[in-house]
């Protein structure tokens, strides 16, 4: 009697096992690839959204910057206009005060000085003193320090001081006052001496405007 033994087909079993393992590996790999693809898609969407948000922010910032530049430009223009108006107002006020001061010194004080040299009784002297005091009160707002040196200056020299402050040259002052230029130079030197700036490199007009005449 012949007995047959069934021998397992090991090659076939191994192939089936390998096939299943390969299939599992493939499914696992496919799942990983799909997850990575999904993650990449999500990352791209987030990046596009971030870029879009950044661009909107940049456009918004650019708009704000343009608006600020426009406002700054308008403010600068307004500031320039206000400065011009203020300077004009100051100049007008200064000219007005200088005109008053000049008229008092040129048209009143010289005659007052002549009157003081005439024979006056005590009452008349009092009246002259009152007139002189009141005139000083009238012109006081026009000057800040001129009153301190006015006692040392003659009416003519005070008039020269005012004309210098107005920017007049020695030649122009001489023509205006009908005096020689050398006489005006003498008056200017005395004015500088009383101001304490004689023999100093200081512009007389600038000094007068800075220290004596108000703006």
- Residue 174 sits at the vertex; the CA angle it makes with 173 and 175, to the nearest 5 degrees, is 90
Measured CA to CA, the distance from residue 200 to residue 136 in angstroms comes to: 30
Contacts of 183 (CB under 8 A, 6+ apart): 174
**206 against 1, higher pLDDT:** 206
User: Has residue 164 got a pLDDT over 80?
Assistant: yes
Where do the structural domains in the chain lie, given as residue ranges?
Answer: 142-214
At 142, is the pLDDT very low, low, confident or very high (cuts 50, 70, 90)? low
How buried is residue 109: exposed, middle or buried, by Cβ count under 10 Å (0-12/13-18/19+)?
buried
**Poorest-pLDDT segment among 17-26, 37-46, 140-149:** 140-149
pLDDT of residue 157: 83
User: Has residue 7 got a pLDDT over 50?
Assistant: no
At 46, is the pLDDT very low, low, confident or very high (cuts 50, 70, 90)? confident
CATH of domain 142-214: 1.10.10.10
The whole-number average pLDDT for the span 64-74 is 87
């Amino acid at each position: 009697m012949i007995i047959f033994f069934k021998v397992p087909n090991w090659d076939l079993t191994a192939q089936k096992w390998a096939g299943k393992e390969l299939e599992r590996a493939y499914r696992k790999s496919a799942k990983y690839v799909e997850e990575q693809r999904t993650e990449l898609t999500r990352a791209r969407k987030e990046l596009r959204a971030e870029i879009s948000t950044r661009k909107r922010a940049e456009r918004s910032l650019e708009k704000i910057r343009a608006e600020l530049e426009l406002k700054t430009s308008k403010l600068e223009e307004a500031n320039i206009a206000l400065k011009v108006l203020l300077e004009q107002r100051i100049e007008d006020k200064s000219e007005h005060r200088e005109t008053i001061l000049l008229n008092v010194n040129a048209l009143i004080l010289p005659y007052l000085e002549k009157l003081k040299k005439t024979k006056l009784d005590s009452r008349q002297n009092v009246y002259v003193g009152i007139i002189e005091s009141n005139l000083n009160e009238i012109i006081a707002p026009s000057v800040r320090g001129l009153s301190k040196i006015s006692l040392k200056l003659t009416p003519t020299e005070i008039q020269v001081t005012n004309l210098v402050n107005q920017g007049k040259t020695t030649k122009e002052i001489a023509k205006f006052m009908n005096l020689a230029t050398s006489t005006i130079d003498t008056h200017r030197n005395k004015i500088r001496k009383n101001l304490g700036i004689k023999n100093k490199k200081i512009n007389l007009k600038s000094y007068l405007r800075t220290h004596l005449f108000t703006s």
